[in-house]
């Protein structure tokens, strides 16, 4: 999914698209792309039983950052975003005023 998002960025004039605050549907903007939808569906299928309603997809200010988190069966969430390779955390920020980041659990 990360590679697809980066390819989209380059092909979309260096933008991930319209800023999006917390979105558990994960089908708005860039997240509605078919390849991204497949990756999200697989990650959600392997997540916690509430992963579909508790996942979070975010695009940050000016379309310059993204983050996605999906609940895990152990009660944590796995987050991956523009920076870093992924880890335990929650996708936060985003929308028109903040960068999208992977924040600590419970934030």
Give Cα separations from 84 to 3, 32, 53, 68 (angstroms): 13, 23, 25, 12
Dist. CA 67–CA 81, nearest whole Å:
4
16 has pLDDT over 90: yes
Q: What is the mean pLDDT of residues 49-53?
A: 89
23 has pLDDT over 90: no
Q: What is the mean pLDDT of residues 36-42?
A: 92
Residue 24 pLDDT? 86
85 has pLDDT over 80: no
- SS3 of residue 67 by DSSP: strand
Whole-prediction pTM value?
0.91
107 has pLDDT over 60: no
């Amino acid at each position: 999914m990360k590679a697809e998002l980066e390819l989209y960025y380059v092909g979309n004039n260096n933008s991930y698209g319209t800023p999006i605050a917390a979105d558990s549907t994960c089908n708005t903007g860039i997240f509605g792309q078919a390849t991204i939808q497949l990756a999200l569906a697989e990650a959600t299928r392997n997540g916690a039983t509430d992963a579909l309603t508790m996942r979070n997809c975010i695009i940050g200010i000016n379309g310059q950052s993204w983050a996605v988190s999906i609940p895990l069966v152990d009660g944590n969430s796995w987050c991956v975003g523009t920076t870093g390779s992924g880890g335990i955390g929650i996708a936060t920020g985003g929308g028109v005023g903040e960068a999208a980041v992977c924040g600590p659990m419970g934030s």
